[in-house]
Amino acid sequence: MNNTLTRAQVEQLVRASLSRQAGASVSSAPSPLVVNSSARHCHLSPAAVETLFGKGHTLTPMKSLYMDGQYAAKETVTLIGPRSRVISNLRILGPCRDLNQVELAYTDSISLGFDIPVRNSGDIAGTPGCMLMGPAGFLEMEEGVIRAAPHVHMHPKDAEYYGVENKSYMKLRVGGELGVTFDRIFVRVDPAFKLEVHIDTDEANACGLGKGVQCELIK
Range of the structural domain that residue 165 is part of: 29-35+150-218
Average pLDDT, the chain: 90
Tell me the mean pLDDT in the region 4-17: 51
Write down the pLDDT at residue 5. Answer: 57
Alpha-carbon span 60 to 94, nearest angstrom: 9
Please count the CA atoms within 13 angstroms of the CA of 215 that sit on its side-chain side: 26
pLDDT at 159 exceeding the cut of 80: yes
pLDDT at 8 exceeding the cut of 60: no
Alpha carbon 136 to its chain centroid, in Å, reads 29
In a domain, 109, yes or no: yes
In a domain, 19, yes or no: no
In a domain, 101, yes or no: yes
Relative to beta strand 101-103, strand 41-43 is antiparallel
The 10s digit of each residue's pLDDT in 36-52 is 999 999 999 999 999 99
Same domain, 44 and 68: yes
187 contacts 154 by C-beta, under 8 angstroms: yes
Write down the pLDDT at residue 24. Answer: 38
Alpha-carbon span 139 to 19, nearest angstrom: 55
| CA-derived radius of gyration, the chain | 20
Same domain, 138 and 155: no
The 10s digit of each residue's pLDDT in 118-148 is 999 999 999 999 999 999 999 999 999 999 9
In a domain, 53, yes or no: yes
Same domain, 131 and 63: yes
Write down the pLDDT at residue 191. Answer: 97
pLDDT at 94 exceeding the cut of 90: yes
Same domain, 92 and 163: no
Of 148, 183, 209, the residue at which a domain comes to its end is 148
> What is the CATH number for 208?
2.40.40.20
Same domain, 109 and 120: yes
Q: 60 vs 2, 75, 84, 92, 208, CA distance in Å?
A: 51, 7, 28, 10, 32
Q: What is the b/e burial string over 14-31, where b = at least 16 CB atoms within 10 angstroms of the residue's CB?
A: eeeeeeeeeeeeeeeeee
Same domain, 67 and 166: no
At 25, the pLDDT band (50, 70, 90 cuts) reads: very low
At 83, the pLDDT band (50, 70, 90 cuts) reads: confident
Structural domain count of the chain: 2
Write down the pLDDT at residue 18. Answer: 42
Model-level pTM?
0.85
Same domain, 60 and 103: yes
Write down the pLDDT at residue 28. Answer: 82
Same domain, 127 and 190: no
The 10s digit of each residue's pLDDT in 62-77 is 999 999 999 999 999 9
